[in-house]
Amino acid sequence: MTVDLRERLRRVLGPSRAETPEGLAERLDDRAAQARRARGQRPDRERDVHDLVPGTVIEGPLGACFVAERDLALDHRHGDEALGRFFELSDRGLGCLARLVEPLSIDRESIVFLDTETTGLAGGTGTYVFMVGLAYFRGDRLLVRQYFMRDHAEEPAMLAALSQVLDRFEAVVTFNGKSFDVPLLLTRYTANRQRPSVPTEVHLDLLHPSRRFWREQLESCTLSTLERAILGHERTHDVPSWMIPELYFRYLRGDDPRLMVAIFEHNLHDVLSLVTLTCRLGRLLDGPTVPVQFDALSSNSVPVDPQPSVFELFGAARIYEDLGLLEEAYTRYEQALAVKRDVAMRARVASRLAALCKRAGRHERAIQLWKRLASLGLTGCEPFVELAKHFEHRQRDYDAAIGVVQEALAVAELRALRQQPGAISERAALEHRLARLLAKRARSMAV
């Protein structure tokens, strides 16, 4: 039974004030809060976010905002990954994550990891970005900076401070940022009549390659799911994403600022997961992993990655094929086919590989794969049709083509009896092909 979001909030945060006798008083408090914001004033508190989270209040021509600051060593682990492994990634792997055919040959310190916290998931002009988390490498440290507006009046100052930092970078890494984070940020810059500085020309959106690799293995490809299942990171006492807007609104109304500490931690986990997920994805695209490496300054070792699964090899091949990098795709498909498990998945790999071999002119290998698929009977009539095309058009062997089509018709009849989708139209197409081949053979014999 689906639970309404309002009911979930009620369970966590208590009964709605609008449903209690105190509701009128709260609405008056809201009006008072709106009046304070209009005057550029925040609720009176003994302590605020800047007293609870390490960071700096930045003053500028457009006002002030708070920036939380944290610096982490390269050997800091987030789940199974050390942050410094980012520097092991090849230009080719990073280029593929950016959907570029050419390798991404840029300084690793010119790449910024970005994640936002907002007042809603709908987007548009009515949604505010109240926190922007950035992470970037400088020397032997990863710097994490979280830009936060303590009141709506601080939005211009926060965006201006953010621009001064983003101007330095050539590429950005996000998770679903192409569809959500970056467009929403650009909307807020436009609403404030400021020039945006988000580096959008080279954008590594990790959601899409993550789906390529793990969509069929996991119940979902959310960042939190990938953390647990792929990165080996488990959050404790984390605030759910769906609660974050309500907690921020409560903070604006004057509630305990410690509510925001949990959101800063949530955003920190998101940003660090962007770094380690990039490492994992990049290595899957790079190919064979490096052996264990030991840091001369510590006893920590970098473990060898587990062997890629057939799903991960298949995902890498699909990404390379989408980019037109056919040799790399061919190698990954062959590696996936060599994994001696999951017959149904191997049949899918063989089908894609056969199509790629046909496209690349590797006809002998394509024939081998189609014959294997035809014997397995897991991919319908497609391999029979491809073999028939080969015998008809390349070898001019009409008898062989007719024999293959007759085998395919037997498979199609069985599929039709089982009422499998598309079986009727498949049978009709095969009957048409058989009639055409019989006529073609008759004409060739009459000559």
Residuewise pLDDT in 10s, the chain (447 residues) = 444 544 554 555 555 444 443 443 344 345 444 544 444 456 667 689 999 999 999 999 999 999 999 999 999 999 999 999 999 999 999 999 999 999 999 999 999 999 999 998 766 668 999 999 999 999 999 999 999 999 999 999 999 999 999 999 999 999 999 999 999 999 999 999 999 999 999 999 999 999 999 998 999 999 999 999 999 999 988 999 999 999 999 999 988 888 899 999 999 999 999 999 999 999 999 875 433 333 333 334 444 567 889 999 999 999 999 999 999 999 999 999 998 777 889 899 999 999 999 999 999 999 999 999 998 877 788 999 999 999 999 999 999 999 999 999 998 888 888 888 888 888 999 999 999 999 999 998 876
pLDDT value, residue 289: 41
Counting DSSP H helices and E strands in the chain, the numbers are 17, 11
Pair 346, 392 in one domain: no
Tokens of 427: 């049978």
In this structure, is residue 222 part of a structural domain? yes
Task: Label residue 77 exposed, middle or buried (CB < 10 Å: 0-12, 13-18, 19+).
Answer: middle
Pair 270, 323 in one domain: no
pLDDT value, residue 165: 96
Pair 74, 130 in one domain: yes
pLDDT value, residue 102: 94
Pair 120, 150 in one domain: yes
Residue with tokens 């009409």: 398
Structural domain boundaries enclosing 423: 381-447
Q: How many domains does the chain have?
A: 3
- Is residue 265 within 8 Å of 273, Cβ to Cβ? no
Angle, to 10 degrees, between the axis of helix 382-389 and the axis of helix 398-417? Answer: 170
- Extended strands (E) in 246-399: 293-294, 301-302
**Rg of the chain in Å (alpha carbons):** 29
Pair 106, 63 in one domain: yes
**Distances, alpha carbon 423 to alpha carbons 6, 96, 378, 427, in Å:** 46, 38, 14, 6
Task: Say how far apart CA 248 and CA 252 lie, in whole Å.
Answer: 6
In this structure, is residue 19 part of a structural domain? no
Tokens of 257: 């600022």
- Is residue 380 within 8 Å of 344, Cβ to Cβ? no
Question: Would the pTM of this model clear 0.85, i.e. be above it?
Answer: no
What is the SS3 assignment for 131? strand
In this structure, is residue 1 part of a structural domain? no
In this structure, is residue 80 part of a structural domain? yes
**Distances, alpha carbon 175 to alpha carbons 214, 282, 322, in Å:** 15, 15, 20
Chosen domain end from 286, 320, 351? 286
What is the SS3 assignment for 138? strand
Report the DSSP pairing between strands 171-174 and 141-148: unpaired
pLDDT value, residue 292: 34
Pair 95, 106 in one domain: yes
Pair 421, 440 in one domain: yes
pLDDT value, residue 80: 94
78 phi/psi in degrees, rounded to 5: -120, 100
- Is residue 103 within 8 Å of 91, Cβ to Cβ? yes
In this structure, is residue 302 part of a structural domain? no
pLDDT value, residue 120: 87
Neighbouring CB atoms inside 10 A of 362's CB total 16
Residue with tokens 């009176």: 44
Chosen domain end from 323, 353, 379? 379
CATH number reported for the structural domain that contains residue 350 in this entry: 1.25.40
Pair 209, 260 in one domain: yes
- Tell me the CA end-to-end span of the chain in Å, nearest whole number: 72
Pair 319, 348 in one domain: yes
Chosen domain end from 255, 286, 317? 286
Tokens of 145: 């900076």
- Is residue 145 within 8 Å of 56, Cβ to Cβ? no
